[in-house]
Amino acid sequence: MKKYNFNAGPSMLPREVIEATAAACLDFDGCGLSLMEISHRAKNFQPVLDEATALVKELLSVPTGYSVLFLAGGASMEFCRIPYNFLEKKAAYLNTGTWANKAMKEARLLGEVVEVASSAEANYSYIPKGYTVPADADYFHITTNNTIFGTEMRYDPDCPVPMVADMSSDIFSRPVDVAKYNCIYAGAQKNLSMAGVNIVIVKDEALEKVSRPLPTMLNYMTHVKGGSMFNTPPVVPIYCAMQNLRWIKAQGGVEAMDKRAVERAAALYGEIDRNKLFRGTAKEEDRSLMNICFVMNDEYKELEADFLQMATERGMVGIKGHRSVGGFRASCYNAQTLEGVNALIQCMKDFEAAH
């Protein structure tokens, strides 16, 4: 049976990206060895890293003066590296959910953290607005897409200080004004590649400004100088990212990804709003195009398990909601197809007709 992959992360990748990566794992570049068993310093691997770097810069129109890094450790590692590298006295954070809290927790170990606003009291169902970022903060940290709660900032806010953004679950889904940020980071396994690599876009002149001594691996400058090869990088996830960046470019770049995301989300939210059984959990204006969260209306709550079973029987994978929201979550990252979304919509319509 055809499977429709709505996993929140690790998540769906274009079939051709998976096939190209699998082929390189058997025989990389016709050299008779697997990508897994060659040196990262082999002459034929450097071009992979170079192309991936160049594609990141091209697709996001990264201005000069920024470095692109491919690092291990997951986005959670950047929660810690960010304050190490940028927090001298005080940092501002926007509390929009689980990941933002984890980022703040690491920053508190190193300095004062100002939580400028929070939507915790409403189970993070909206993005706070009208907050003031202190002008003396070293940076303002945002989480552009809240993977668990299904809210998203699909814009780059204006702010009196440089921003730092966790874009783990919506990077390459829209154009970004990189110049507003000192650092953008993302774990790869939502919208870019398999797990195992982070992409970090960092403004060179913002580095080495803090007074604390930095452990070597936590210092972004180590990796800028080392060209992401200070130590052995995760070559297979980087290769997979390179293939996916090629795919994004061939589809028309982030503008095309944005347009598709809008189409998919309009179709699915349209059905959620129309269907008498369901309702969305995020405030309409802050709805994520990447993680579409919905529950059954109170009077139909006991039908959730039945719907999940019907969807599963029709090949839908990964639509069970995160435990902190409940209900359902359909993750619609770049590789998601309108066909997949329409299959879910049909399932919702048929389930409604049966009840």
Ligand X SMILES: *Cc1c(COP(=O)(O)O)cnc(C)c1O
Binding interface with ligand X (CB under 6 A):
9, 74-76, 99, 143, 147, 166, 168-169, 187, 190
- Which residue of the set 156, 170, 190, 203 is catalytic? 190
* Sign of torsion over alpha carbons 200, 205, 210, 214: positive
Residue nearest to ligand X (CB): 74
- In the complex, the smallest distance separating the C-beta of residue 99 from ligand X, rounded to whole angstroms, is 4
- In the complex, the smallest distance separating the C-beta of residue 150 from ligand X, rounded to whole angstroms, is 11
**What is the DSSP track for 88-100?**
SSEEEEEE-SHHH
**What is the DSSP track for 191-252?**
TTSSTT-EEEEEEGGGSS-SSS---GGG-HHHHHHTTT-SS---HHHHHHHHHHHHHHHHHT
Q: Tell me whether strands 140-143 and 151-152 are parallel, antiparallel or unpaired.
A: unpaired
Task: Identify whether 90 is a catalytic site residue.
Answer: no
- In the complex, the smallest distance separating the C-beta of residue 151 from ligand X, rounded to whole angstroms, is 11
3-state secondary structure of 342: helix
- In the complex, the smallest distance separating the C-beta of residue 103 from ligand X, rounded to whole angstroms, is 8
Strand (E) or helix (H) holding 280: strand 278-280
Reference 261, options 283, 293, 290, 291; nearest CA is 290
Whichever of 53 and 191 has its CB closer to ligand X, that residue is: 191
Whichever of 281 and 347 has its CB closer to ligand X, that residue is: 281
Q: How many CA atoms lie within 13 A of 284 on its CB side?
A: 6
Whichever of 14 and 187 has its CB closer to ligand X, that residue is: 187
CA angle 156-173-4, nearest 5°? 145
- In the complex, the smallest distance separating the C-beta of residue 281 from ligand X, rounded to whole angstroms, is 17
Task: Identify whether 27 is a catalytic site residue.
Answer: no
> How many Å is the Cα radius of gyration of the chain?
21
Contacts of 297 (CB under 8 A, 6+ apart): 276, 277, 278, 279
Q: How far apart are the first and last CA of the chain?
A: 26
Q: Tell me whether strands 90-95 and 112-118 are parallel, antiparallel or unpaired.
A: parallel
- The 10 Å Cβ neighbour count of residue 25 is 15
Whichever of 102 and 249 has its CB closer to ligand X, that residue is: 102
- In the complex, the smallest distance separating the C-beta of residue 98 from ligand X, rounded to whole angstroms, is 8
Whichever of 53 and 151 has its CB closer to ligand X, that residue is: 151
Task: Identify whether 166 is a catalytic site residue.
Answer: yes
Contacts of 6 (CB under 8 A, 6+ apart): 12, 316, 317, 318, 319, 329, 330, 331, 332, 336, 340, 344
Whichever of 77 and 110 has its CB closer to ligand X, that residue is: 77
Q: Tell me whether strands 291-296 and 278-280 are parallel, antiparallel or unpaired.
A: antiparallel
Distance CA 161, CA 180 (A): 9
- Which residue of the set 138, 156, 166, 170 is catalytic? 166
Whichever of 187 and 321 has its CB closer to ligand X, that residue is: 187
- In the complex, the smallest distance separating the C-beta of residue 113 from ligand X, rounded to whole angstroms, is 17
Q: Which positions are catalytic?
A: 99, 166, 190
